[in-house]
Structure 1
Amino acid sequence: MWCSRCQNAWYCSPEHLQSDWPRHRRECVPVNAAQQQYNSAIVTPPPAQPQLVTVTAILFKPEEERPQIISVQCRPQGTISQGLCPEPLLRDYFEGTPATIILTQGLNGDPLRFPLHIWYCPNSLQRATPINRAIHRLTRGVATKAWCGPVVVLKFNGSRRHGYSDAGSNDLPALAAYFMAYK
């Protein structure tokens, strides 16, 4: 990348351009005379592109006996000050738009410090999708509702649900209780 105004300063990333701008703006001279009239204007560098965040999630594949820990990329939405949760990129796991459930209580109704975000396909049973063997095994087959299709579980990094942290095997007891009680 280079400064589009003077074309004399080179940068390896938008972040470096942005961080060097306070120094570079004092020496930045436009390339041609048509731009000379804007020499005294304050020019700001382009905003940096939002970075994808990667977290671990739990994947319950219908054809597998055990859940898997996977990496999921999340795209930031809005600015940090807006407090919007990043959007998980899950299109590889679902056909169409998945539905979500936010699990806030664990075993015996105790509140979860880090709520769990469950993504699933509500139409899986209608499409003759096989029963999710990983959930069936986790619940020992006594779940009230047979879960079908893939299920992905992400973990919020706090009760305000502004972002995700890594989910893991420690979250399975709360999920098992939820899968068994869901009607």
Structure 2
Amino acid sequence: MSMNHSVSLINHPCAVCFMSTSMWCSRCQNVWYCSPEHLQSDWPRHRLECVPIASARSHVLPTPPPVQPQLITVSAILFAPQEDRPRVITVTCTPPSTPAQGTCPAPFIQEYFPREQPNNIVLTQGLNGEPLRFPLQLWYSPGALAVNAPINQAIIRITSGSASKPWCGPVIVLKYNGSRRQGYADAGSNDLPALSAYFLAYK
């Protein structure tokens, strides 16, 4: 932090300690701080009112970078067409940029669907129609289903080949952390019976 003492400036009270200062937030230039530390400590409050201006002026304090959404990782189940059994993978998710009621983190799964945007369905019932406490979200390739791509061997395995219609293309299964579907929990082998029941009933 540097100051040009040859320039006469009007001092203002620091927003944190009220000490007289001639330095302000560089982003909005409306709030004054005596030190970078006080700007940093006040940033969680000030960021809600900090509106950037186009012009730049001297004697400014660098504004902290915007808070980035916290990435989370969860376990998911991958049914790869060429593999003979499902396996657990790690999926990274990012929360919505503007959290709202009913929204859920967005999973990064495009690498498993390189040719198209995957669709998803939500299973709310398991074996014998029992409601699932933690609904399952199945991401799949609509194009693979439409053109009868290679049959998914991992799904054949968990259904013992008894499904009335074969499933084509990859499937990734994420597990919601509750019926409100606002986040994910780790999926695992305990979820396979409900998935097997679904694939057996798929037509």
Band of TM-score, shorter chain: 0.7 to 0.9
Q: Does 1:47 align with 2:66?
A: yes
Shift in Å at residue 34 of structure 1? 3.7
Structure 2 unaligned spans of 5+: 1-23, 27-32, 46-55
Shift in Å at residue 81 of structure 1? 4.7
Q: Secondary structure at the match of 1:123?
A: helix
Structure 1 CA distance for aligned equivalents of residues 104 and 145 of structure 2: 29
Change (3 A) 1:21 1:82: farther
Structure 2 CA distance for aligned equivalents of residues 44 and 88 of structure 1: 31
Q: How many residue pairs get matched? A: 161
- Corresponding residue for residue 108 of structure 2: 89
Q: Scaled by the length of structure 1, what TM-score is found?
A: 0.77
- Corresponding residue for residue 95 of structure 2: 76
Structure 1 unaligned spans of 5+: 11-16, 26-32
Mapped contact 2:69–2:97 kept (Cα < 8 A): no
Q: Secondary structure at the match of 1:62?
A: coil
Q: Secondary structure at the match of 1:149?
A: coil
Structure 1 CA distance for aligned equivalents of residues 152 and 84 of structure 2: 9
Structure 2 CA distance for aligned equivalents of residues 99 and 121 of structure 1: 6
- Relative to structure 2, which stretch is displaced further, 112-121 or 125-134? 125-134
Change (3 A) 1:151 1:35: same
Among 22, 31, 37, the residue aligned to 2:42: 22
Structure 2 CA distance for aligned equivalents of residues 55 and 63 of structure 1: 23
Shift in Å at residue 99 of structure 1? 1.1
Q: Does 1:159 align with 2:179?
A: yes
Structure 2 CA distance for aligned equivalents of residues 89 and 181 of structure 1: 28
Q: Scaled by the length of structure 2, what TM-score is found?
A: 0.70
- Which string of whole-angstrom CA distances, capped at 9 and with x for unpartnered residues, describes residues 96-151 of structure 1? 11111100001010100000000111221444521000001110111122101100
Change (3 A) 1:123 1:35: same
Mapped contact 1:21–1:45 kept (Cα < 8 A): no
Q: Secondary structure at the match of 2:112?
A: coil
Change (3 A) 1:129 1:81: closer
Structure 2 CA distance for aligned equivalents of residues 130 and 82 of structure 1: 39
Structure 1 CA distance for aligned equivalents of residues 155 and 139 of structure 2: 14
Change (3 A) 1:115 1:86: same
**What percent identity do the matched residue pairs reach?**
57
Structure 2 CA distance for aligned equivalents of residues 34 and 71 of structure 1: 47
Mapped contact 2:116–2:143 kept (Cα < 8 A): no
The amino acid across from 2:150 in the alignment is: P
Structure 1 CA distance for aligned equivalents of residues 194 and 67 of structure 2: 39
The amino acid across from 2:192 in the alignment is: L
- Corresponding residue for residue 117 of structure 1: 137
RMSD: 3.1
1:100-115 correspondence runs (5 A): 100-115=120-135
Q: Secondary structure at the match of 1:158?
A: coil
Q: Secondary structure at the match of 2:116?
A: coil
